[in-house]
Amino acid sequence: MPATPLTRAACAELDAADPLAGFRDEFALPEGVVYLDGNSLGALPKATPGRVAELIEKEWGHGLIGSWNDAGWWDKPRTLGAKLAPLVGAAPHEVVVGDGTSANLFKTLVAALRLNPDRRMVVGEAGNFSTDLYITQGVVELFEGAGQRLVDPDDTDGLEAALAPGDAAVVLLSHVDYRTGALRDMAAVTELAHRHGALVVWDLCHSVGALPIELSGCGADFAVGCTYKYLNAGPGAPAFTYAAERHHATARQPLTGWHGHARPFDFTGDYEPAQGADRFLSGSQPLIAAAALEASLELWGRADLKLVREKSLALTDLFIELTAPAGLELVTPREAGRRGSQVSLRHPDGYAMVQALIARGVIGDFRAPDVLRFGFTPLYLRHVDVHDAATALTEIVRTGEWRDPRFAERARVT
């Protein structure tokens, strides 16, 4: 672990030497805000409004229906997928953009169950984000004899025990735990699952854009992820699906819309899946939203993920060190290799503490029942921002500022 700089001046020196420092100016950040919620909704790239306006006014308004050909609209799920592929360690033709994470989980889980027809169990994680659990319930209900077995994926023995019966068709795990920030060993877990005859679906929502990912290198089967967190594509932006090339000819997903057809413009009566990852497509995609993703992927195409990961670990280390005096329980693994790009702290009054921080212009979030969650986005966060945020949290806890009744009032969406 590097020596942690504890003064603001030392932080400013690190910022001056930061090879990623130039990216900050490419984001439209509100004045006086330290934004530590980019793991939930990434900040707005300055290039995005212009790209979206171009699509709306030029491609749609002027080009009208012709833009399906002339502006490359029809191929956007593939061209955007190819641009996203390097961020997840995939070949360009293994990723398509479209639909939401929930729908893509549904498609990949059904495909995995069909590729492993003698097995009916989905091994999931008890603490996974709720939509992963719910979608799995929706899937297993459609297959006779199917079920969900929940484990703690950070307990390797427990995971192996869940696979030992030999009935697991597929393992669905989040690469980074949305609550704790724990990073799973993709290579080891994938190898373990394969050794026990199960396929693996990785949920990359909390890791894509936060660290280098090697789906192909790890032998992963399928993956899904969103683009509105670290990838900065805007609220509810289109999600993506990764399908390893070896499954392209045989994977069959159930949302068999016309965009996934081998020859969509033949308008044949019978569904025949396309010969690639695009068999995971269904229908038309919201292209105005896709234009925002296009703008942010252009930016990500210039970012070195190794530098992103190094800075992410430096920022999270710094925050952990600087907030230690506050005395909150650290939930996130202290070991760098087991940590994503967030720091989670635990306190029964965490909700009010997060509200008090927001009142000071430091935006983090809260996850029930007691987790204060802070995301670190190396493209637009500086070491001095982390210093200021940590100082604010420490002061809020020390002074009891969070006890003000106005900080107890719960918002509907947390």
User: Which residues 140-169 are close enough to bind a copy of itself by CB under 8 A?
Assistant: 141-142, 144, 150
Question: What is the torsion angle, in degrees rounded to the nearest 10, for the CA atoms of residue 73, residue 208, residue 36 and residue 321?
Answer: -160
Is 101 annotated to bind ligand? yes
* Residue 102 assigned as binding residue: yes
Binding residues for a copy of itself restricted to 325-384, rule: CB under 8 A = 358, 363, 365, 367-368
Q: Which of 156, 216, 256, 394 binds a copy of itself (CB under 8 A)?
A: 256
Options 189-197, 254-262, 381-389, 397-405: segment touching a copy of itself (CB under 8 A) = 254-262
Residues annotated as catalytic (active site), given as ranges: 129, 203, 228-229, 373
Give the nearest distance from C-beta 211 to a copy of itself in angstroms: 21
Calpha distance 78→100 (Å, rounded)? 16
The phi, psi pair for 135, rounded to 5°, reads -65, -40
Residue 187 interacts with a copy of itself (CB under 8 A)? no
Which residue's CB is nearer to a copy of itself, number 58 or number 334? 58
Site for a copy of itself in 198-237 (CB under 8 A): 226, 228, 234-237
Pick between residue 75 and residue 191 the one whose CB is nearest to a copy of itself.
75
DSSP code, position 233? -
Backbone CA torsion sign across 203, 341, 385, 20: negative
> Is there binding between residue 414 and a copy of itself (CB under 8 A)?
yes
Given 11, 40, 247, 339, the residue binding a copy of itself (CB under 8 A): 40
Select from 20, 23, 73, 390 the one that contacts a copy of itself (CB under 8 A). 73
Torsion of CA 75, 78, 79, 85, to 10 degrees: 180
Question: What character string, x for contact with a copy of itself (CB under 8 A) and - otherwise, covers 286-305?
Answer: xxxxx-x-------------
The site string for a copy of itself over 83-102 (x = CB under 8 A, - otherwise) reads ----------------xxxx
> How many Å from the N-terminal Cα to the C-terminal Cα in the chain?
34
Q: Phi/psi at 83 (nearest 5 deg)?
A: -70, -30
CB 35 within 8 A of CB 28: no
DSSP state of 183: B
Q: Are 312 and 300 in contact (CB under 8 A)?
A: no
24: its two tokens:
């900050």
**How many residues make contact with a copy of itself (CB under 8 A)?**
89
**Is 203 known to sit in a ligand binding site?**
yes
Query: Which segment (88-96, 213-221, 281-289, 332-340) binds a copy of itself by CB under 8 A?
Result: 281-289
* 60 forms part of the interface with a copy of itself (CB under 8 A): yes
Cα gap 138→149, rounded to integer Å: 14
Interaction of residue 261 with a copy of itself, rule CB under 8 A: yes
C-alpha–C-alpha distance, residues 128 and 307, integer Å: 28
Residue whose C-alpha is closest to residue 380's, from 310, 323, 312: 312
Among the listed residues 106, 240, 319, 380, the single contact to a copy of itself using CB under 8 A = 106
Closest-CA residue to 183 (of 42, 306, 342, 40): 342
Does 30 sit near a copy of itself (CB under 8 A)? yes
Binding-site residue numbers for pyridoxal 5'-phosphate are 101-102, 203, 206, 228, 258
